[in-house]
Chain A
């Protein structure tokens, strides 16, 4: 519980910096990044507390500013909606209602809903239900996480004693479960129908990041202080087992990322260490992680793995993504509906954002959604150091 006490003494900015998914939240120009779940549109939160929304179909770049929009830690677009963006700020959650057809570059602050609850700040993580109806918000100092009905601005507190606040949230893509990491060496997995939870103590430190397989049956997570990726499998969700999370007994280690020497085009490099953030693409075929170097002269790097979830879980190394010389990766994210495979977006410390496409045909049968129908282009995964810029 020491870490809990420590976290209470931190200033809220330090706290956000400690728990943010960005590698260097305090110093980097890009603080948060979010793809729209259905369209080619993304939002970028900048160091000056403004948010820019880029759209592939329009040249206007709206810039969102609000009096309460300070120290943005996370952003999330509402699924099944044209343009509603939730922003985790220092004192509240702002929900921007943007008009997708508007040409204005400065939406007024009247477009933003303010969701605040006493004792619930700073907000460091947000998650929308995939069905678009509820929003979860979490703060490292509040032991309760809040379930919001955004349209009516009402919230329900989900409290579970012990473990301090909640630092990171991840809602599984099938909507059945939510990962809630705490500042202590414990994380919880909530089941999203009756809202009961299973508690998972870790050995070393707090859970730093986690991501779900597309069907919500597997959770990959990493722990602060360990350079491995754990996997936790859940019994398949059928809806009949109300109020059960159904996690397996123990988590297994699926990858060891301790420091090793690699021969690259630029000479020998040492890469490896703790994982800072981790994303899984919507088809479940690629996993990208930001590895923080262990030794001072090693660089943070983005490593990509090829994954398969069924019939057995497989995780194979695929390659590294490199930016411009001297640029360190800050944030990573996969495009939620890239039709030809997967599209990884990396925000670099230089302030540049690059999109790296991976062309492949899904191993699984094409998904139900017509947006994911396979395209008969047989691409190969490029394993050389990639460099592409927006």
Chain B
């Protein structure tokens, strides 16, 4: 059985790769095809000679066909391919948000990131080497022949170090490293999905001016930083190269690690230009990958052939595909529910022999479980926030009334859901949170957090356990230590459930609690030291962002579900949607309450921060606002279409009141 599971996993992974494979190939091809254009632009600009325009243009065009330019293009194509491979290996649809400075440092020195930076530095060096070759002139060779500075007539020509060339190569390495660092810090591996659908060419054209501007400005900053670095530390590589390669320094040339040496306008211009060239080619590869990867994909609802069953939307939603595939599936669900009556009809259809609404059941179940997952996570986070707010820790075995009400509500949902014949009892399975390989640097603490949220019906979730949720609240440790904590939690689960069933398990539980207390004490002790506090203190905004980092999925689930329900009013011939309507309304209304409560927490701003229109996408920072808005719209969409008929739907009195508010447009 285990082998079968593994086999299926591999098949799934392959399918994910398959959808992605073509997109990646196309993206790489286009970025390689665009390379000669960038190169031509670079050659023309590097030979800039405003006083002799005709000669400048003709020279540049002659240079384009030379063999070394073609070789350089070939070499840089290799670089682009390697950069693209890194883009593909590092992409994430759920951004990882470091919640404290220590977590950020941890991310920077993580082996994966170190390899990323190292390779990018090498690639940067290669690109600038190509740039020097194409620029020609005094930058071209590392070793040049020179006469010794003594100026004797009979002195034999020696090989001297061309410091300009060295400067260029080092600047390339610096730029590559800076690119990699900013890639990490700005979460550029995050794939944001566009707010409207557009053709790829139009999206690319729209981003191109931004890309050029961004590359120019960024290159300016990087070169400035590099000049400062070279001024202080430039002598180290210079001396090292000279000794290893047995080169001399040319006394006639100014050394570059002095102020006067660095104030060379032509040098600065060429460094900047090659920086722009490097960043542009890399950003184009990155942008194209982003555009291709987030393009909507059309999943069939019903298989036309038996072997295609695995590719169907309901199947993919319910399995555990690579996260990107799941995102694409949900996006497709949103699009079909909104725009395609024919495909909606397929969703509402019954299976041919048997007459079961398998498609609708699978889709609605997955959407609902996603949403109730989020509800759980938010409740946990609110409890944590309440604990962190300095409220006295309730003694073990009790829970705050708010907690109780939540739990009763939750069990309500589960009860109702499990009673419904259409929804399997496993409505809320524990899902390892999307994309959280615990070991990877891209799993954020918040997502790991999610792993602590277990099935409601498991004994762990009784009121007895809620203090654990509380205790995890004031988390000081991040990333690395979080993982350890989670690990320990995982180990504790069986112990805890045993504690319920047998009294002999009380002992380990006690030890565990004691350990927890100790850990807590150490943390409080450490947190009082200012310096440590600086590194450990969690940025409240970042932790909130982390909680909502995968909210895009929930937004699509909400939109897809609400559009389908609204359309079912006229299009659902067999009434398959009606049976799940109570569960849907319950889930949405509960989530609405929890989200409302979330925005009332301290530290939570009710307005999104201003986003400047830059190339670097920071849309993950505002996902929670989008979620709040689309949740409300989703509820209104259902209530507007169904109107008074909703009074016939069985929901709890509290929810009935809430629904009435929606019906009267008073929410």
A binding-site residues for B, Cβ under 8 Å: 36, 38-39, 80-83, 100-101, 113, 117, 131-134, 147, 149-157, 159, 193-196, 238-240, 243, 368-371
The 7 closest A-B pairs by CB, nearest first: A151-B629, A152-B622, A239-B340, A239-B339, A80-B636, A370-B643, A151-B625
Flag if A80 contacts B339 (CB, 8 Å): no
The listed residue with most A CB atoms (<10 A of its CB), out of B198, B622, B628, B645, is B198
Flag if B665 contacts A100 (CB, 8 Å): yes
- Among residues of B, the one whose C-beta sits closest to the C-beta of A131 is B338
The listed residue with most B CB atoms (<10 A of its CB), out of A38, A132, A151, is A151
> What are 5 A-B pairs at a CB distance below 8 A?
A131-B338, A150-B629, A152-B611, A154-B195, A238-B342
Q: Which of B590-620 contact A (CB under 8 A)?
A: 607-608, 610-611, 613, 619
Flag if A152 contacts B608 (CB, 8 Å): yes
CB contact under 8 A between A156 and B206, given known A80-B633, A100-B666, A113-B607: yes
The listed residue with most B CB atoms (<10 A of its CB), out of A83, A113, A117, A131, is A131
- Among residues of A, the one whose C-beta sits closest to the C-beta of B202 is A195
- B199, B340, B559, B619: the one contacting A133 at CB < 8 Å is B559
Which residues in B have their C-beta under 8 angstroms from that of A154? 195, 611, 619, 622
Q: Mark B16-50, 1 if CB is under 8 A from A, else 0.
A: 00000000000000000000000000000000000
Which residues in A have their C-beta under 8 angstroms from that of B644? 370
Chain A min CB distance to B90 (Å): 24
Q: Which of B317-361 contact A (CB under 8 A)?
A: 335, 338-343
CB contact under 8 A between A369 and B341, given known A150-B629, A152-B611, A154-B611: no
CB contact under 8 A between A194 and B626, given known A100-B665, A239-B340: no
Chain B min CB distance to A55 (Å): 10
Q: Mark B618-649, 1 if CB is under 8 A from A, else 0.
A: 01001101101110110011001111110000
Chain A min CB distance to B333 (Å): 14
CB contact under 8 A between A152 and B619, given known A81-B632, A133-B633, A240-B340: yes
The listed residue with most A CB atoms (<10 A of its CB), out of B343, B628, B640, is B640
- Among residues of B, the one whose C-beta sits closest to the C-beta of A147 is B196
Flag if A371 contacts B198 (CB, 8 Å): no
Which residues in A have their C-beta under 8 angstroms from that of B339? 193, 239
Which residues in A have their C-beta under 8 angstroms from that of B642? 370
Q: Which of B562-615 contact A (CB under 8 A)?
A: 563, 569-570, 607-608, 610-611, 613
Apart from A157-B206, A369-B641, 17 more pairs, CB < 8 Å = A80-B637, A81-B632, A82-B665, A82-B667, A117-B613, A131-B633, A134-B196, A149-B195, A150-B629, A153-B611, A193-B197, A195-B196, A238-B341, A239-B339, A239-B340, A243-B199, A371-B640
Which residues in B have their C-beta under 8 angstroms from that of A193? 197, 335, 339
B303 interfacial by beta-carbon distance below 8 Å = no
Chain A min CB distance to B347 (Å): 13
Which residues in A have their C-beta under 8 angstroms from that of B637? 80, 131-132
Q: How far is the CA of A240 from the CA of B298 in the complex (A)?
A: 11
Q: How far is the CA of A386 from the CA of B547 in the complex (A)?
A: 59
Which residues in A have their C-beta under 8 angstroms from that of B559? 133
The listed residue with most A CB atoms (<10 A of its CB), out of B628, B629, B630, is B629
Which residues in B have their C-beta under 8 angstroms from that of A195? 196-198, 202
Flag if A101 contacts B666 (CB, 8 Å): yes
- Among residues of B, the one whose C-beta sits closest to the C-beta of A155 is B613
- A81, A101, A117, A153: the one contacting B633 at CB < 8 Å is A81
Chain A min CB distance to B658 (Å): 13
Q: How far is the CA of A149 from the CA of B617 in the complex (A)?
A: 14
B462 interfacial by beta-carbon distance below 8 Å = no
Chain A min CB distance to B556 (Å): 12
Give the B interface residue count (CB, 8 A). 45
- Among residues of B, the one whose C-beta sits closest to the C-beta of A193 is B339
Flag if B195 contacts A134 (CB, 8 Å): yes
Q: How far is the CA of A82 from the CA of B642 in the complex (A)?
A: 16
Flag if B341 contacts A152 (CB, 8 Å): no
B111 interfacial by beta-carbon distance below 8 Å = no
Flag if A368 contacts B196 (CB, 8 Å): no
- Among residues of B, the one whose C-beta sits closest to the C-beta of A148 is B195
Which residues in A have their C-beta under 8 angstroms from that of B608? 151-153
B194 interfacial by beta-carbon distance below 8 Å = yes
Flag if A194 contacts B199 (CB, 8 Å): yes
Q: How far is the CA of A369 from the CA of B610 in the complex (A)?
A: 38
Q: How far is the CA of A35 from the CA of B202 in the complex (A)?
A: 35
Which residues in B have their C-beta under 8 angstroms from that of A157? 206
The listed residue with most B CB atoms (<10 A of its CB), out of A80, A193, A369, is A80
Q: How far is the CA of A369 from the CA of B563 in the complex (A)?
A: 14
Flag if B630 contacts A133 (CB, 8 Å): yes
Flag if B626 contacts A152 (CB, 8 Å): yes
- Among residues of A, the one whose C-beta sits closest to the C-beta of B641 is A369
Q: How far is the CA of A134 from the CA of B642 in the complex (A)?
A: 23
Chain A min CB distance to B267 (Å): 35
Chain A min CB distance to B192 (Å): 10
Which residues in A have their C-beta under 8 angstroms from that of B643? 369-371
Flag if B665 contacts A39 (CB, 8 Å): yes
Chain A min CB distance to B95 (Å): 15
- A117, A133, A239: the one contacting B342 at CB < 8 Å is A239
Q: How far is the CA of A192 from the CA of B390 in the complex (A)?
A: 50
- Among residues of B, the one whose C-beta sits closest to the C-beta of A337 is B640
Q: How far is the CA of A152 from the CA of B197 in the complex (A)?
A: 17
Q: How far is the CA of A80 from the CA of B91 in the complex (A)?
A: 35
Chain A min CB distance to B564 (Å): 13
Which residues in B have their C-beta under 8 angstroms from that of A36? 665
Q: Mark B184-200, 1 if CB is under 8 A from A, else 0.
A: 00000000001111110
Flag if A81 contacts B636 (CB, 8 Å): yes
Chain B min CB distance to A157 (Å): 7
Flag if B341 contacts A196 (CB, 8 Å): no
Flag if A38 contacts B198 (CB, 8 Å): no
- A153, A159, A240, A368: the one contacting B622 at CB < 8 Å is A153
Chain B min CB distance to A246 (Å): 14
Q: How far is the CA of A154 from the CA of B621 in the complex (A)?
A: 11
Flag if B625 contacts A152 (CB, 8 Å): yes
Which residues in A have their C-beta under 8 angstroms from that of B340? 238-240
Chain A min CB distance to B206 (Å): 7
Q: How far is the CA of A328 from the CA of B272 in the complex (A)?
A: 64
Q: Mark B150-190, 1 if CB is under 8 A from A, else 0.
A: 00000000000000000000000000000000000000000
Q: How far is the CA of A194 from the CA of B335 in the complex (A)?
A: 11
Q: How far is the CA of A193 from the CA of B340 in the complex (A)?
A: 11
- Among residues of A, the one whose C-beta sits closest to the C-beta of B197 is A194
Which residues in A have their C-beta under 8 angstroms from that of B194? 156
Flag if A82 contacts B611 (CB, 8 Å): no
Which residues in A have their C-beta under 8 angstroms from that of B623? 152
Chain B min CB distance to A298 (Å): 42
Q: How far is the CA of A217 from the CA of B340 in the complex (A)?
A: 16
Q: How far is the CA of A149 from the CA of B641 in the complex (A)?
A: 23
Q: How far is the CA of A38 from the CA of B632 in the complex (A)?
A: 15
Q: How far is the CA of A207 from the CA of B639 in the complex (A)?
A: 37
Q: How far is the CA of A29 from the CA of B610 in the complex (A)?
A: 34
Chain A min CB distance to B554 (Å): 14
Q: How far is the CA of A247 from the CA of B197 in the complex (A)?
A: 21
Q: How far is the CA of A368 from the CA of B642 in the complex (A)?
A: 10
Chain B min CB distance to A359 (Å): 22
Q: How far is the CA of A154 from the CA of B617 in the complex (A)?
A: 10
Q: How far is the CA of A283 from the CA of B206 in the complex (A)?
A: 39
Q: Which of B641-667 contact A (CB under 8 A)?
A: 641-645, 665-667
Which residues in B have their C-beta under 8 angstroms from that of A196? 199
Which residues in B have their C-beta under 8 angstroms from that of A147? 195-196
- Among residues of B, the one whose C-beta sits closest to the C-beta of A237 is B339
Q: How far is the CA of A36 from the CA of B665 in the complex (A)?
A: 11
